[in-house]
Amino acid sequence: MIGGGQLARMMVPAAVKLGLDIEVLAETADGSATIAPHTVGDYRDLDTVLGFARGVDVVTFDHEHVPQPVLRALVDAGIAVHPGPEALLAAQDKIEMRRRLGALGLPIPDWAPVGSAAELAAFLAEHGGVGVLKTARGGYDGKGVRVVRDAAEAADWLAGDVPLLVEEAVRFRRELAQQVARRPSGGLVVYPLVESVQRDGVCAEVISPAPGAGGVAQAAAHVASTIATELGVVGMLAVELFETQDGGILVNELAMRPHNSGHWSIEGAVTSQFEQHLRAVADLPLGATELRDPWTVMVNVLGGPADGDLDRARVAALAAQPTAAVHLYGKSPRPGRKIGHVTTGGPDLDDAVYRARAAAAAFD
C-alpha cells in the first residue's frame, strides 16, 4: 500500500480478516496507516518505491499521486501494480480523463483545455458567462477548483505552469457516486448508487442507496462499469456524478481506490470497499455488494473538537448513539481535516440520518 492515510488505515482490518499481509509506504511516521507494518519514505522517489515494492506481491495505493515515471519503472521491473499506470493516468490528469471519457461517448460536462485568457474567455462566452476552472493535476476536496465569470479572475492560475481545463458550470439536482470493483482477470461488481452531499467542496454526508434514483442507478452502473473495463482499472473505482436538472447524469471526477463516498460500505454492504479493493488487486474472487440495511448513512467528522480533546468527544459520541459505528483515523483535530466518520443504518432514513449526525456532532 503506497500512501499512509486513512484509506490505507481502513484497509488494514480487511487484510486482517482475509489473512493477507499488508505493508505500508507512509509519508510520515505518524500517518493514519502506521498502525500496520510500514516504511516511511517518499512515494515520488524511484529508489524508495522500488525498494519497497520488491518486497511485496502486489502494489496498490491510497492516493493517485505516484508519478508516472515511478509507476512505469515498477511495471518495467516486473512488479504487479494495480491499478496500473495507464489507468491511473486518467485519475491523475483531468484533461486526460475528459479526453478518454469523451472518446468513449460517456456523458461529461462541456469542457476545454485552457492555455490562455483568450481561450478561457471564449469558453465562458459560449457557456452563459460562467465556468469551472480546474487544475489538471493535484486537486482534491475542493482544492484546484474555482468558479470563474471573467478570464481576468484566473490570471494567477494562467500564469502558473499547471495545465488547466474549464468545464461548464453544471446546474445539478444533487451529486451521486457510483462504485465498482474490477479484478485483473476481468470480474466486475457494482455497488449501489449513493447520494453524496458536499459542503464547501468536501464530502459531508453519504446516503446509501441514493433516494429515488430509479433509472439513474442503471445509467450510473453502466457508466462506471464502462470506465472500469475500457480504462482497465483494477481495484475500486469511484465515479462522482452530477444528476442534472433534466434527470440525466454527467461524470464529474474519478478515483481509482476506496473513496469517501464508499465508507458506508464497511457496515452497510456485505463486502466493504476496503476488502473489495484488496480482493481485486490480489485477484481474488470479488465479494457481494448487496446492502445490509435498507438505508445506510455516513457522516464525516471534519475538524474535530475545538478544544482538541478527542478522548472526551469519543466518549460523548459513543454515549449518545450506541448504535452508531464511530470510526476515527488516529489523526489530531485541525479545522476542516477529515479525522473520522460515523455510520448508521436501519429501515428509517430520517432516523439513521439523525443518529449519524448526532454522533458526529459530538466531535464538534
3-state secondary structure of 259: coil
From the list 290, 309, 348, 350, which residue makes contact with a copy of itself (rule: CB under 8 A)? 290
For 94, residues 6+ apart whose C-beta sits below 8 A from its C-beta are 134, 135, 136, 137, 139, 165, 253
What are the residues whose beta carbons fall under 8 Å from the beta carbon of 338, sequence distance 6 or more?
A: 6, 202, 260, 300, 301, 302, 329, 331
Site mask, a copy of itself, residues 243-272, x = CB under 8 A? ---------------------------xx-
Torsion of CA 305, 201, 189, 274, to 10 degrees: -30
Q: Residue 94 or residue 327: which is nearer to a copy of itself going by CB?
A: 327
Q: How far is the CB of 261 from a copy of itself (least distance, A)?
A: 19
CA distance 176 to 85: 26
Supply φ then ψ for residue 138, to 5 degrees.
85, 0
3-class DSSP assignment, residue 38: strand
Shortest CB 19 distance to a copy of itself, Å: 3
12 counts as binding a copy of itself under rule CB under 8 A: yes
Within 319-358, the residues that bind a copy of itself by CB under 8 A are 319, 322-323, 325-330, 340
CB of 185 to a copy of itself, least distance (A): 11
Q: Pick from 25, 14, 136: which is nearest to 70 by CA?
A: 25
Shortest Å distance, C-beta 312 to a copy of itself: 11
The two beta strands, 235-244 and 249-255, are: antiparallel
Binding string, residues 60-99; x marks residues near a copy of itself by CB under 8 A: ----------------------------------------
Beta bridge partners of 143: 140
Looking at the Cβ atoms of 105 and 185, the one nearer to a copy of itself is 185
Instruction: Find the shortest distance in angstroms from Cβ 287 to a copy of itself.
Output: 5
User: How far is Cα 144 from Cα 138, in angstroms, rounded to an integer?
Assistant: 7
Q: Does 29 bind a copy of itself (CB under 8 A)?
A: no
Q: Using the rule CB under 8 A, which residue among 65, 314, 337, 357 binds a copy of itself?
A: 314
Tell me which residues touch a copy of itself (CB under 8 A): 9-10, 12-13, 15-19, 21, 35-37, 270-271, 279, 284-288, 290, 292-293, 310, 314-315, 318-319, 322-323, 325-330, 340
